[in-house]
A and B are shown apart, each in its own frame.
Chain A
């Protein structure tokens, strides 16, 4: 039963699947960081319309199951409304998966960052205003840089969750490692060894997520603001 041959027999396919997972996770990390930062800026801004938009966005995206978000992107927007990123089907699905996952993760990044903003003493913003910085300047130069340093470790958790959430993109027709694994199991020639196969993929995820956690932990220590 614990013969890992089924895993190694399909090693190339699984490796390709992980590569696809990695492409999705990396792009979503960057994009969700941008979306989350923008949303957090909206939510702490003095403009009521922006605040309302930020709050509304977070409440909708954070409370919608990711599967639904991704299905909406692939089936709804890509297939039915034919909003395609590319003529190549797989490329279009990829970008919709990136967008859906980032839109969803961005809501969590926003809330984490907002918690970080609350760790920055009020006096920092007052000092920034007192030397004549505008709201946007003090947010960009004084508040957000300190907020980011405070949330590096929890941001690592958000990204680990995001890396694992890439498996849901299988539902959106994007061939990342979970979909590849399912395809292997569904092959008529695949006799048994589902558990070793799954264990192998699980270890693959550990190889992605454990260093992520350690990296963010290390970075958090290194970048901590001394007060």
Chain B
């Protein structure tokens, strides 16, 4: 696998508190990578190490095949969770300043900013002060500044807080576009559901340790339990007794004008068997596999971890 970023056995402690223990992660080039875990799991510590804000106590970070070095920050874009802008500075001046700190020349920064401002239709904001903008507007400016220097690696720490649903969609589509253009993306969030549709790889971190990693599809497949949901219209008693003879009936309840049953099949049994037993006695309105959400998986992993 071709990794853009590889963390090897990273350890980091603060006074009396372990932030990361032996964390190894490979982030494939061109992926959208979800770094998931509850608050305080160590996500931000890890991201700060990638951004060279702090250094690990031990371990190594390889970026594009070489050990991470100060010059690499020009190739990384970082939107921190704790973010903000100078309130008294104008939007344009501030955007220019931040881009120049990333190493862009005055002219390059100006040309690219113009493009982005046109794309977001915010040209009229150029001479406004940040304090005159709403929070969502300021976040847009912040997003532009993060991606403007066309970094190879983009890191978003809780990116969607502060955005309304419309802007969230806008940002998501921009992120997908940047990804298509070649950028590798890291999402860090504790709101697992917010990245399920966008990430292709995930790592779950809990209490400084990696508990799970891999391509999102594989992770989900691993957690499939061969459980199906079947919605039907017909005699509930007859249907449930028929199902119970051959399979494990987890739940059966009325839902609007029909009933819905959740059934777990023995391993290796195809869903056809369940359908075949129900079809002669009821009308099947809907049939689907119950696929665990990342949230479910995470809760299951954490519970397993604390039980063992």
A, B bound: no
Q: Which residues of A contact B (CB under 8 A)?
A: none
Q: Which residues of B contact A (CB under 8 A)?
A: none
